[in-house]
Structure 1
């Protein structure tokens, strides 16, 4: 039966010889103290331990193994006692939560004391003639007359404000006549279609409208846009006259979007003051605008009008995901031959003039510009 391992250090175990049952210890010849004191690797240490165990007698080897196991167990000992200091709630100990309640109680008690002292003073000055305790109900004036007076004053202010609003005259060109109603805005003067524009359609034997009003709506439709300066104010409305024979599919897509009031799909991407602004309009996947476009670049002269709507000839093979078109701020004869014009602004030029204040040299917008409404006149 083995003895209980002694809790001794490695040095003392190596230095002191052990004896069991009267046998002499042979650790002097294989003592670990005689090993060279140099930095040993883990592999070398394990090799030395194995050699030491081989050279020791069985009893001493078992004793050494028991000591090593005991030392490993002691290194892995975890205390079961809670040795951490006790915790306490600082809020409860300092009483911070009740400070406000204590302050309110103190102030209420102070007010009560002041009232009591005032009553005592009155009693002492009058020698008890007056009764400091009032048992009858106090007389309170009704608030109804004051409320009625406020309502009447508000009504007068509203009437004065309505009178001033009625007398206001707008300085913004909205593009609409005050006396215009419904279809009366459509031009009814005789419409003459250029022969060169109709010549390429003679082979198709088209049934053209007979009335001038229908011809205007087909070949010269008019659309409008209402512009709003983000987080500030509305700027007004401008009216665009389109030329169907210049780019039929492009004009048809714009008219459809305006008829459905898809104003939120028109996005102003860039604005160059004194030159033009770029507008982006998404199109559907099955739209015919993805295919080759029919156009006539001689319908509109870019040098004859300002505020011309046009798109680049790079898109004649079809638009990809979005349709891009520009609105020029001045006559640009230099773009004749490189862009296809399909409309120009006929009313609301001052609105586009005002828009130039919110553009930069690199085309980014200094203020958000939104389309709040669109339609067909």
Structure 2
């Protein structure tokens, strides 16, 4: 089918013309219209794009983080050094382990002993002269001696103690030998031999399992404190049997536990002891054993003794002190780092050599 074209009438032409004119007018109005809202892109300054203001904040944050890391490392090192004891206010005050005050006391005693010896020599000389001339001897108490010797300066106080002060440190000879009055004992007359008998000294060489030596420690023993224990130590050291000694446990700030496998007969039953010879609260690095072991015998006849790291006044009357460290206190103090709270050692310590001075 073919569609017939509609005939255009003048009215339709006029309507189309009016519509076209209205459209043209509308386009003109739309062309010059502008919005009340700013739709342009925001202008960002280059300073904000580069984030220059945040550089200072980032630098301060980096410095603060570095300070926190350094503080954390310092706290970690302190924890490793103190084994977790960070609160120093609750810990006991560390007492000085210097032997200088004790040595000064021994020097004063030595001076007094020298003065007495000089008086005796002077009295002997005057007594001999008086006998030769037939005069009455001068009484010993009236002698006044002005010693001509010069006292050693304070800087020399670190030298070893004299033989005389070592013998007369704890008790007098008469008090020591009074309990042996009923026994037929032959005591040496020489002062040096008497010192070797009452104050023997042993040497122990400590080392680690890997073969690295730790140092040499000199111990001075007290015979009147526990004669059988001192005799057992001297016997093993004279036989050069370092394998008999062993360090089992180390308790920091307390003591190190040692064992000695000796003869079973003398240590099997009660032994003689005296708890008043050494004062545990006066000095550290004291060799001691339990009082119950001396009363009832050592378990398995194995000598169990300890070496303290500091003065322990609470041990007076409870443990028998029979020796102390004369030289090498720093070596004993360094072995304290190998211990833990439960006594287990982080590195095994052994005795490589032993001897008697």
Normalising by the residue count of structure 1, what TM-score does the alignment of the two structures yield?
0.49
| Distance of 1:206 and 1:284 partners within structure 2 | 24
Which residue is equivalent to 2:254? 275
Aligned to 2:333: 353
Mapped contact 2:205–2:217 kept (Cα < 8 A): yes
> Which residue of structure 1 aligns with residue 84 of structure 2?
none
Residue 324 of structure 2 corresponds to residue 336 of structure 1: no
Q: Is there any run of 5+ residues in structure 2 with no aligned partner, and where?
A: 1-159
Question: What is aligned with 1:257?
Answer: 236
Partner Cα distance (1:187, 1:230) in 2:
36
> Offset at 1:206?
2.1
**Is 1:305 aligned with 2:283?**
yes
The superposition leaves residues 181-233 of structure 1 with CA deviations (integer Å, 9 ceiling, x where unpaired) of: xxxx9954474462322211112242211111101110000001001122151
Pick the structure with greater CA Rg. Answer: 1
Distance 1:203 1:284, change over 3 A: closer
Distance 1:337 1:188, change over 3 A: closer
CA distance in 1, matches of 2:310, 2:278: 14
Q: 2 CA distance for matches of 1:332 and 1:299?
A: 15
> Could you say what secondary structure the match of 2:182 adopts?
helix
Shift, 1:257, TM fit? 0.4
Q: 1:187 to 1:376 in 2, by over 3 A?
A: farther
User: Per the alignment, in what secondary structure is the counterpart of residue 217 of structure 2?
Assistant: strand
- Determine helix, strand or coil for the equivalent of 2:258: strand
Pairing of 1:1-377 with structure 2 (within 5 A): 188-189=163-164, 191-192=167-168, 194=172, 195-231=174-210, 233-285=212-264, 287-316=265-294, 317-321=296-300, 322-377=302-357
Please state whether the residue corresponding to 2:297 is helix, strand or coil: coil
Equivalent residues, number: 192
Whole-Å separation in 2 of the counterparts to 1:238 and 1:210: 30
1-side partners of 2:262 and 2:239: how far apart?
14
CA distance in 1, matches of 2:299, 2:343: 22
Structure 2 counterpart SS, 1:203:
coil
Distance 2:349 2:323 in 1: 21
Change over 3 Å in CA distance of 1:241–1:319 after alignment to 2: same
Asked whether the equivalents of residues 236 and 262 of structure 2 are also in contact (C-alpha less than 8 Å), the reply is no
Q: Normalising to structure 2: TM-score of the pair?
A: 0.52
| Greater mean deviation of Cα atoms: 193-202 or 288-297 | 193-202
Root-mean-square deviation (Å) = 1.7
Partners of 1:305 and 1:198 in 2: how far apart?
25
Structure 2 CA distance, aligned partners of 1:320 and 1:334? 24
Cα contact 1:274–1:330 (8 A) shared by 2: yes
Give a deviation string over 1:132-159, Cα, whole Å, max 9, x none: xxxxxxxxxxxxxxxxxxxxxxxxxxxx
